[in-house]
Structure 1
Amino acid sequence: MSTIRSRDGDSVALILWQQMKRDDDDAEEALYRLNPGLEQYGPILPAGLEITLPELTDKTPAKVVNVWD
């Protein structure tokens, strides 16, 4: 696991995308589990929060089904 410090104006979704290239419910839930109390700051985080990033396996992309196949 790695940790980062938030910058003024960061959101959980932005941090997940910038650091992990993910912004899905599983990643967000894992982040909140590792960082209890993070939700108290609301959607926009203040600068300087130490945030532990979860170690997640890569999501398998959904299979695309073409109706013409």
Structure 2
Amino acid sequence: MKTLRSREGDTISIILWMGLNRTDDEAEEVLFALNPGLEKYGPVLPAGITITLPEMPAKAPERVVNIWD
């Protein structure tokens, strides 16, 4: 597993995007499960929090269907 340290102003979405190229609910749930107590910091993290990133595959892009095609 990979770990990283937050910078002032980082959010969970930014952390997930930097580490996994994902920001979906599944990745967020796994991140919080691996890092108990992370939610106590609120939506904007302070600098210096060590965060363990889950090992997850990159999420496949969703298929877009255009009804006019």
State the partner residue of 1:9.
9
Distance in 1 of aligned mates of 2:64 and 2:46: 39
Distance in 2 of aligned mates of 1:43 and 1:63: 30
1:29 aligns with 2:37: no
Runs of 4 or more above 3 Å deviation = none
TM-score, normalising length: structure 2? 0.88
Distance in 1 of aligned mates of 2:55 and 2:34: 10
Provide Cα deviations, 1:6-56, integer angstroms capped at 9, x if missing partner: 111111001111221111101111100000000000000011111000001
TM-score, normalising length: structure 1? 0.88
Aligned residue pair count: 69
Sequence identity percentage? 61
The root-mean-square deviation of aligned C-alpha atoms, in Å, is: 1.2
In structure 1, the gaps of 5 or more residues are none
